[in-house]
Amino acid sequence: MSSGTGTFQGGIHPYDGKDLSKDLPTLTVMPKGDLVYPMAQQHLGAPSKPIVAVGDKVLMGQRIAEATGFISAHICCSVSGTVKAIEPRMTPSSAMVESIIIENDGQYTPAPGVGEKRDYTKMTKEEIRAAVKDAGVVGMGGAGFPTHVKITPKDDSKIDFIIANCAECEPYLTSDYRMLLEEPDRLIGGLKVIVSLFPNAEGIIAIEDNKPDAIAFIQEKVKDEPKVRVQVLKTKYPQGSERQLIYACTGRKINSSMLPADAGCIVDNCDTVISIYRAVCESTPLMRRVVTVTGDAVKKPRNLIVRTGTLYSELLEYAEGFKDGVDPEKILSGGPMMGIALTSLDVPVTKISSALLCMEKDMVAANPSTHCIRCGRCVSACPSRLVPQKMYECSSRGDDDGFVKLNGMECFECGACTYVCPAKLRLTQSFKQTRQSVAAARRKAAAEAQAKKAEEEAKAKAAEEAKKGGNKQ
Amino acid sequence: MSKLLHVSTSPHVLSKDSTHSIMLDVVLALIPAAAWGVYMFGYRAAIILALSMISAVACEYIWQKCMHLPITVNDYSALVTGLLLGMNLPSTVPYWLPVVGSAFAIIIVKQLFGGIGQNFMNPALAGRCFLLIAFAGLMTNFPSVDAVSTATPLAVLKNGGTQSLSDMFFGFTSGTIGEVSALLLLAGGIYLLVKKVITWEIPVIYIGVFAVFMILFGGHGFDVNYVLCEICGGGLMLGAFFMATDYVSSPITFKGRVVFAVCLGLLTGLIRVFSKSAEGVSYAIIFCNLLVPLIEKVTLPKAFGREGK
């Protein structure tokens, strides 16, 4: 069995900003206004379909929208109340997405069965997987990949490692750290639930070494668990990226065309593992998550437990608003390396919202791009061992083929190259566009190939039928 | 919130280092050795350095103004070119020479090829080599420091003479303005290493390979004094720490920098041992600058998870 080194080649050490909020215990937010549940952009794959109608009464934990494909997820209501509208609303990415709007009755009446305790050791694997699917659990680290798909690989016996990703390498975020300290039993319990699905699997809780107290605390908690261990990781961005994390924990490598299961691994974010525990052992669907509200522009940084669907503007009230006289230039959903810039605070917290980061100054606008001086820092920083300098030359002249030849599709847009660039070039932005254009071209080519194949098959069938018909006559 | 929010794609934080701050660090690292040159060779050295820097910056400014290009003199790269060129000149040259050299370096080598980041060889060294070829007599007229010899220490060594290692290390010898004090150049180089402006591969491997070459082929066998004199002299320190490490004209990959440094060490040794010239650092560097695209092509790193393919 291979073992990891706890680190990877490349990466950067940006200012981590975690001191602002890391010692603050979580507070639970009680939503005041209506709750908004977008049908897309809170999980990867096909959008969900509403199964309630305007005027319907709904209970807390009740499913209000259904998965519509293999890769899709259910959505459950996080309060009790009435369906007020089903209409397009703005999401954190500033897109208008069909959403269910619920008027909160303030009663939090649970749906039948929600909260019932269950013993996972007495459940079959199918029941466990169904519980995860019914709860609408998705990857809460940001990608939103449906968890029931992730824990259903082709061959259960080939899974060797279940990794709970508690690296939290993204600056400013402290929600995983708070969960390690506040919810260790649910985290370890959730990990044990997943491990129980795979006969040869070992559970790993991966934590960066900038959280020594959490490491010691969890190590003490798992010392009698035969199938769970703690992997200490070197503090470095992007240590929590799936491919780098698998390498750091196991020494195995995957590329963009592979799934973690191809390397015998399943990786789930900290809060996701906790949600799995709630789903399986407490019959509680995914309807809450931890959100760090922080940044140099907020008065009181906070770690908040938030019901999904709550608007960001309400979270800000818990942080007592902006500092006096401060008007933030940029507000992000998520961390500074991979987060999304918001255009409005009237957007809902989704399953994949990890933070609300309010920045007094926008560094990007303050640093205009100049010319590349070929310093090579991007090459040293790239965790995928790419050559951003040359990829940028390709992407800026629209040379998609050259970009692909340089393995540009292996880029996962972590932003490390852009962070270190002394010429302040927008490398990641440029790669994002080229990667989208390449992916679109590939989809088009695949669709054309399929259409051609279908056409040929139809022709062959028609010819055969004509032949048969001819024979009859 | 009264004003509109800024929106851009991630990442939203950037490091503090900029082209400007890096170039400023290079200037700071060069100041001790340049100041020593002024101390050794007098006010003429100061005037040559000043003329060289002012004309480099002025050439860039005037060229960009005339060509209606964005003005980039405030990134300090022209200042670095001017300072390096001045440090590569003897203090005895006429005052018009640094101006001609800077104009050649900035306009021909840098701007005609597209400005900062596009020059295919180090502009300061290209300027120096141009002057060496065009005005050989002026460029090899070194000032006397001990009223006896006006030859550079390496020329003395090459002609079978001996040279005091401590004089060469501390800088009590003749030569160009900026190359004489190996100690101060080394101090500047270490400053750049500590500030992470340069990485260790190029200077360490360049000097290492060169030392091995001189032991094998220098004709003095394993003579520590001789090898150290060769390392301290002829602008090798200046070249290895400040000019071979020039970002634009050196490889961007780690492996590439290793190959580049090995080539530099071999070529410098070849020129010093087997040619008429006693120096060779400048020519070795600009020749290896031309190899950089080739070196990069064969040293691209393998993408993570795709090593087998």
Determine which of A344, A356, A407, A425 to mutate to test the interface with B (most B C-beta atoms within 10 Å): A407
| Residue B304 located in a structural domain | no
Contacts of A372 in chain B (CB under 8 A): 117
Contact A328 B1 (CB under 8 A): yes
Determine which of A9, A371, A428 to mutate to test the interface with B (most B C-beta atoms within 10 Å): A371
Q: What is the pTM of this model?
A: 0.91
Helices (H), chain B: 19-41, 43-66, 77-87, 96-103, 123-134, 136-139, 153-158, 165-170, 182-194, 201-217, 224-232, 236-238, 254-274, 281-298
Q: How many domains does chain B have?
A: 1
| Residue B146 located in a structural domain | yes
pLDDT digits (tens, 9 = 90+) for B117-175: 898 899 999 999 999 999 988 888 888 765 455 667 777 777 777 778 888 888 888 88
Cβ neighbours of residue B224 closer than 8 Å, sequence gap 6 or more: none
Q: Which domain holds residue B264?
A: 19-297
pLDDT value, residue A1: 44
pLDDT value, residue B168: 84
Contacts of B257 in chain A (CB under 8 A): 376
pLDDT value, residue B225: 87
Neighbours of A46 (CB within 10 A): 16
pLDDT over threshold 70, residue B309: no
Q: Closest to B10 (Cβ–Cβ): which among A384, A423, A428?
A: A428
Are A108 and A77 in contact, with CB atoms under 8 Å apart? no
Nearest chain A residue to B7, by CA: A341
Domains with residue ranges and CATH for chain A = 18-288 (3.40.50.11540), 289-363 (3.10.20.600), 367-473 (no CATH)
| Residue B309 located in a structural domain | no
Contact B9 A429 (CB under 8 A): yes
Q: Closest to B303 (Cβ–Cβ): which among A12, A367, A385?
A: A385
pLDDT value, residue A472: 55
pLDDT digits (tens, 9 = 90+) for A92-138: 999 999 999 999 999 999 999 999 999 999 999 999 999 999 999 99
Q: Annotated binding residues of A, as ranges? A: 372, 375, 378, 382, 411, 414, 417, 421
User: What's the rounded Cα separation, in Å, for the pair B84 and B124?
Assistant: 6
Q: Closest to B15 (Cβ–Cβ): which among A247, A374, A419?
A: A419
| Residue B5 located in a structural domain | no
Burial class (CB in 10 A: 0-12, 13-18, 19+), A282: middle
User: What's the rounded Cα separation, in Å, for the pair B30 and B36?
Assistant: 10
Neighbours of A116 (CB within 10 A): 11
| Residue B132 located in a structural domain | yes
Three-state SS for A12? strand
Contact A327 B3 (CB under 8 A): yes
Cis ω before A301 (30° cut-off from 0): no
User: What's the rounded Cα separation, in Å, for the pair B283 and B236?
Assistant: 12
pLDDT value, residue A148: 94
Across B57-64, average pLDDT? 96
Are A35 and A62 in contact, with CB atoms under 8 Å apart? no
Q: Where would I find the beta strands (DSSP E) of A105-209?
A: 161-166, 202-208
pLDDT value, residue A470: 61
Q: Closest to B17 (Cβ–Cβ): which among A384, A385, A422?
A: A422
Neighbours of B41 (CB within 10 A): 22
Q: Crossing angle of helices B123-134/B96-103, nearest 10°?
A: 130
pLDDT value, residue B2: 59
Q: What is the ipTM of this complex?
A: 0.91
Going residue by residue through chain A (473 aa), what tens digit of pLDDT does each one get? 457 889 999 999 999 999 999 999 999 999 999 999 999 999 999 999 999 999 999 999 999 999 998 999 999 999 999 999 999 999 999 999 999 999 999 999 999 999 999 999 999 999 999 999 999 999 998 889 999 999 999 999 999 999 999 999 999 999 999 999 999 999 999 999 999 999 999 999 999 999 999 999 999 999 999 999 999 999 999 999 999 999 999 999 999 999 999 999 999 999 999 999 999 999 999 999 999 999 999 999 999 999 999 999 999 999 999 999 899 999 999 999 999 999 999 999 999 999 999 999 999 999 999 999 999 999 999 999 999 999 999 999 999 999 999 999 999 999 999 999 999 999 999 999 999 999 999 999 999 999 999 999 888 888 888 877 666 55
Across B8-22, average pLDDT? 93
Residue B107, domain CATH: 1.10.3430
Contacts of B305 in chain A (CB under 8 A): 243, 253-256, 258, 384, 410
| Residue B249 located in a structural domain | yes
List C-alpha distances in Å: B129 to B114, B134, B227, B274. 21, 8, 25, 19
User: What's the rounded Cα separation, in Å, for the pair A268 and A432?
Assistant: 25
Q: Looking at the complex, report in whole angstroms how far the Cα of residue B307 sits from the nearest Cα belonging to chain A.
A: 9
Neighbours of A425 (CB within 10 A): 20
Any idea of the CA torsion for B70, B71, B74, B80, to the nearest 10 degrees? Answer: 110
| Residue B7 located in a structural domain | no
Greatest extent of chain B over all pairs of C-alpha atoms, in Å: 79
pLDDT digits (tens, 9 = 90+) for B218-268: 888 888 888 898 898 888 999 999 999 999 999 999 999 999 999 999 999
